[in-house]
Amino acid sequence: MAGTIAAAINGVGVTGVAPGVKVAAVKVVNDDGFIYPEAAVCGFIWAAEHGMRVTNNSYYIDPWEFNCRNDARQRPVWQAVQRAIRYSNSKGVLNVASAGNSNYDLAHKFVDPNSPNNLPDDQEPEVRTITGACVDLPAEAPGVVTVSAVGPTGEKSYYSSYGQGVVDLTAPGGDTRFRTKGASRNLPDGILSTTWGLDDEGNVINGWGYKQGTSMSGPHATGVAALALSAHPDMTPGQLASFLERTSVAQSCPEGVYNPAPLISATNPHLYDATCSGGERNSFYGAGIVDAYNVVK
């Protein structure tokens, strides 16, 4: 993600969307890989109080993939996250969030079989039918720019979640399955960026690699936001969000049921079916694909 935003122009590896900007990591994840509400809230506030202008958020707040405002256990999370985001907006921060990789229509709720996700191995998650009172945080919080993913053709990546009135913009996130209709992966159709891994002895090795996801598209949009601020440094978060939308390139809905990966499951060819709704601004792409040149020309 950091490489997608800001990898230097140094003749090595890759170059980021905004290679001249400063980046910092705000730690919100614990050693078990969870991002709990207190850490997320503190992350928004810390970034705001340390002068950051844009944050990239490629996660949902654990342990509930969807926090339901009508559930006494989860409503405080919604309230606290809203307050933290409003505070960061008031301090000049634009928060960008990934839409998620579950091919969910976030505007029309469904059954959530995966929450809470921090249970012991001998306990099963609750299977909940969730309503419009339930939201993916921070992606569905007011004041957040929510980003879906497109592949090399500019069409929605098979995995990308979407939703009319939820997705604001789209950006390259990669789609390694579209060439084979899901039967196999072609890694170079993902996003090449800085990455890390482990060697056979468990030592961290650094380098470059391909990944796909809205965690790749979100940083593309964040990088474009950083470029926009470099050209227009006095923009407020609201003005910046509007500017990103106005300078994006509109992408029309595909006709009928969309599924670029029907062969990904041998038993369920409709696993990644999705139907786009809306006109020039629509549920797959929001206002359109972010455009780096348009924000600085």
Quick: pLDDT tens for 126-157.
Answer: 888 889 899 999 999 999 999 999 999 999 99
Looking at residue 119, its pLDDT comes to 92
pLDDT of residue 198: 84
Q: Record the tokens describing residue 251, joined without a space.
A: 């992408």
Tell which residue, 195, 191, 185, has the closest CA to residue 210: 191
141 and 135 in contact (C-beta within 8 Å)? yes
Alpha-carbon span 203 to 281, nearest angstrom: 46
* Domain at 2-175+214-296: CATH architecture: 3-Layer(aba) Sandwich (3.40)
Q: Are 5 and 223 in contact (CB under 8 A)?
A: yes
Q: In Å, what is the CA distance from 240 to each residue of 69, 84, 247, 290?
A: 29, 19, 10, 12
Is 159:212 a contact under the CB 8 Å cutoff?
Answer: yes
pLDDT at 79: 96
Domain boundaries, the chain: 2-175+214-296
| Per-residue pLDDT, 272 | 97
* Cα dist from 148 to 79, 171, 217, whole Å: 25, 7, 7
Q: What is the per-residue pLDDT across 236-277, written as a single tens digit (0 to 9) for each?
A: 999 999 999 999 999 999 999 999 999 999 999 999 999 999
What was the pLDDT predicted at 204?
A: 87
Extract the residue ranges of the chain whose pLDDT is less than 50. none
Residue-level pLDDT at 156: 98
